[in-house]
Amino acid sequence: MREYLLVLLIAAAATFLVSGLCRKLALRFGALAKVRDRDVHTIEMPYFGGLAMLCGLAVAVVVAWQLPFLGGQELVIQDSRAILIAAAIICLVGVLDDLFELSALAKFAGQIVAAGVVVALGVKMLWIPLPGQTIALDSSASIAITVFFIVLCSNAVNFVDGLDGLATGVVGIGALAFFAYCYLLTVTQDLTRATTASLITVAIAGACLGFLPHNFFPAKMFMGDSGALLLGFLLATSGVSLTGQIDPSQMPSDRGLLPTVLPLVLPVAILALPLLDLVMAYIRRTYQGKWWFAADKQHLHHRLLERGHSQRGAVMLMYGWSALVSFGMIGLGLVQDRVSVLVAVGLLGLALVLLVATLGRPLNGRTRVKPRRVAK
């Protein structure tokens, strides 16, 4: 655990320090978030937060390779190296989009390339658990399902990246929950505690923690597509890597199917809020006769603002919702007694009630956003 804590602190410190430099680069090269009708910010804001998080994560992972425990696991080094290489590719796609506003097709192609690279380097789904059996995937099915899963999660974070600090905090909370699951699973089942999923998720949490002071309201910079695509990609590949490093037969059978399938369910649960937003946007835009990627101002965070919540209030509500879902899913997967199961179910139920209640608040006038200036 001490090595994981060190990785988290290094990722946080490196990201915090590099963010200032990345902000200056964004201002110099004109990578700025323009003010559009659907946006909440009122002035242009510099991007490249994703580049800072990639640097922080890379520093932390490279340091982890030198540590006696994590650095002694060849499979962890191999898989984390593959994830870092592919993460750099998808972050580059986001950087290019922040600079030149790539078309949706170009961004999609870049995501496919990054997913294909990580699969080619050996990080892919090997099995799918079903009631009473585990299906081993052949090569073609493994590649197709893994690429689809990675691209889906990569795009999901984009849909929740609409308020200062929202995506950073939601993903950071989810990454901590994912790390807790990975670590507790290895402890309770007496497995090796060094896994790629644990390393990457704790590094994600650290990177988000280090970037949050620059990104929380009032933000000094945005993560941009370089950050949104990066965080979704890292969460997805963490889940995929765990399926390849833990034998499903070693999972706790007395808890049913959930502990076995949880490595794949957790990234989706962590991104439940943006995935829900994605599905709602697809249905809404299709019903209106628009392309699913045509932007609008009807996302969940927009609706919270319309109902009178401040930016900070809306962000904190969505933080709470994400924490309840993420840690509630972990409870269902790991707890053994009936009382704990009821508590976990209660957390999930509270998350649903919280979401419905906050979205159902009556309008309370316009959202007031204080103007902010960008230091040139």
Joined tokens for residue 56: 């922080």
What is the dihedral angle through the alpha carbons of 367, 371, 374, 375, rounded to the nearest 10 degrees?
Answer: -150
* CA 267, 272, 277, 278 torsion-angle sign: positive
Q: Report whether 277 belongs to an annotated binding site.
A: no
Name, in order, each residue with C-beta under 8 angstroms of 196's C-beta and a sequence gap of 6 or more. Answer: 75, 76, 79, 80, 83, 123, 238, 241, 242, 245
DSSP state of 129: E
User: If DSSP codes are grouped into helix, strand and coil, which group holds residue 271?
Assistant: coil
Q: Taking Cα atoms as reference points, which of 177, 209, 215 lies closest to residue 315?
A: 215
Q: Please report, in angstroms and rounded to a whole number, the separation of the first and last CA atoms in the chain.
A: 42
Instruction: Find residue 33's DSSP bridge partners.
Output: 45
Spatial separation of the C-alpha atoms in residues 53 and 202, rounded to whole Å: 13
Cβ 158 vs Cβ 228: under 8 Å:
yes
| Residue 57 CB burial class (10 angstroms; 0-12, 13-18, ≥19) | buried
| Residue 354 CB burial class (10 angstroms; 0-12, 13-18, ≥19) | middle
Name, in order, each residue with C-beta under 8 angstroms of 209's C-beta and a sequence gap of 6 or more. Answer: 8, 11, 12, 15, 172
Q: What is the CA radius of gyration of the chain?
A: 20
Q: Report whether 97 belongs to an annotated binding site.
A: no
Instruction: Find residue 45's DSSP bridge partners.
Output: 33
Show binding-site residues: 158, 225
Show binding-site residues for Mg(2+): 158, 225
